[in-house]
């Protein structure tokens, strides 16, 4: 499932391609991805509208558009869910089998494709209102993180997935940040010391920033649809898992720890897999 870095890279890729484009026609094949917006309302709002800007918030894409003759912009919210892809394709190109929504922009079409239809392309922006701070922005401070963690007895790995604590972290980067900080994923959030919170705060920013940096160098390849993979919407030529190589613990159970060579472990917390080193992450 794409997390903050993958969505950030997608936003950077789509931004210049969409800027200034007008939606000429709207094709809806799976109206459930628009929910709670109705297909009729979605079409009415989007047909004739122009893309002004695109930004990311947490794991969401926020497209800003303006209707012809109107001075008030409105926002379209995109979420890739588990398997969604959003990309531009030439007008004549074959449509992917699971295309859910197609926005015709002239020579090219914007396609939202999703085999499982867990993602969203909707005019309902309410999910964004519940998000915590952006981890790479100044508003996310060690003090803020410490204050929030003090109020929770949840295991720190589970707590990091709470989007109201900090936006955009999912299963992959929660495991990676805890490894980098040397913290046990089972540790109760309110039992972390000030020094441990500071380490975790730094580790979160480092893993996300380096994933964005690394992902920015990988050309997006929309023909790749690997299951469970990262950057399933793109991979480096000739090396399927070049990005995976950058991850130190995620999906590496049984392999030796990058730091101490102890075999990495996998446990299940809140129905999600956690990967960690039993030796480097004892406390």
Q: Report the interface residues with Zn ion, using CB under 5 A.
A: 257, 259-260, 262, 277, 279-280
Residue 134 annotated in active site: no
Looking at the Cβ atoms of 192 and 264, the one nearer to Zn ion is 264
CA distance 251 to 173: 11
Minimum separation from the CB atom of position 186 to Zn ion (A)? 16
Looking at the Cβ atoms of 33 and 257, the one nearer to Zn ion is 257
Minimum separation from the CB atom of position 210 to Zn ion (A)? 19
Looking at the Cβ atoms of 36 and 263, the one nearer to Zn ion is 263
Residue 272 annotated in active site: yes
Is residue 100 a contact partner of residue 33, using CB atoms and an 8 Å limit? yes
Minimum separation from the CB atom of position 256 to Zn ion (A)? 8
Cα-Cα-Cα-Cα dihedral sign, residues 179, 183, 184, 186: negative
Strand boundaries in the chain, DSSP class E: 25-28, 50-57, 60-66, 73-79, 85-90, 99-104, 108-113, 120-122, 265-269, 272-276
Looking at the Cβ atoms of 101 and 280, the one nearer to Zn ion is 280
Residue 8 annotated in active site: no
CA distance 60 to 62: 6
Q: Looking at 57, 59, 159, 265, which residue is catalytic?
A: 59
CA distance 119 to 104: 20
Minimum separation from the CB atom of position 275 to Zn ion (A)? 12
Residue 43 annotated in active site: no
Burial of residue 74 (CB within 10 Å: 0-12, 13-18, 19+) is middle
Q: Looking at 186, 202, 272, 279, which residue is catalytic?
A: 272
Catalytic residues: 2-3, 59, 272
């Amino acid at each position: 499932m794409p997390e903050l870095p993958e969505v950030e890279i997608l936003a950077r890729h789509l931004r210049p391609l969409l800027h200034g484009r007008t939606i000429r026609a709207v094709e809806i094949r799976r109206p459930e991805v628009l929910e709670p917006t109705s297909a009729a309302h979605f079409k009415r709002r989007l047909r004739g509208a122009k893309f002004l800007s695109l930004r990311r918030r947490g794991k969401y894409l926020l497209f800003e558009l303006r209707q012809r003759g109107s001075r008030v912009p409105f926002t379209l919210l995109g979420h890739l869910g588990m398997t969604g892809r959003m990309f531009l394709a030439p007008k004549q190109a074959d449509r992917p089998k699971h295309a859910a929504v197609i926005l015709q922009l002239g020579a090219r079409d914007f396609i939202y494709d999703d085999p499982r239809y867990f993602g969203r392309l909707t005019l309902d922006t309410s999910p964004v209102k519940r998000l915590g701070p952006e981890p790479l922005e100044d508003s996310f401070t060690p003090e803020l993180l410490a204050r929030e963690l003090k109020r929770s007895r949840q295991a720190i790995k589970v707590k990091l997935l709470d989007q109201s604590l900090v936006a955009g972290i999912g299963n992959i980067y929660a495991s990676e940040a805890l490894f980098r900080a040397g913290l046990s994923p089972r540790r109760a959030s309110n039992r972390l010391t000030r020094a441990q919170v500071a380490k975790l705060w730094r580790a979160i920013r480092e893993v996300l920033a380096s994933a964005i940096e690394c992902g920015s160098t990988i050309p997006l390849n929309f023909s790749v649809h690997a299951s469970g993979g990262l950057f399933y919407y793109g991979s480096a030529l000739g090396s399927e898992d070049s990005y995976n190589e950058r991850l130190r613990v995620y999906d590496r159970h049984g392999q030796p720890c990058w730091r101490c060579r102890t075999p990495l472990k996998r446990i299940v917390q809140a129905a999600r897999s956690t990967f960690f080193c039993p030796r480097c992450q004892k406390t």
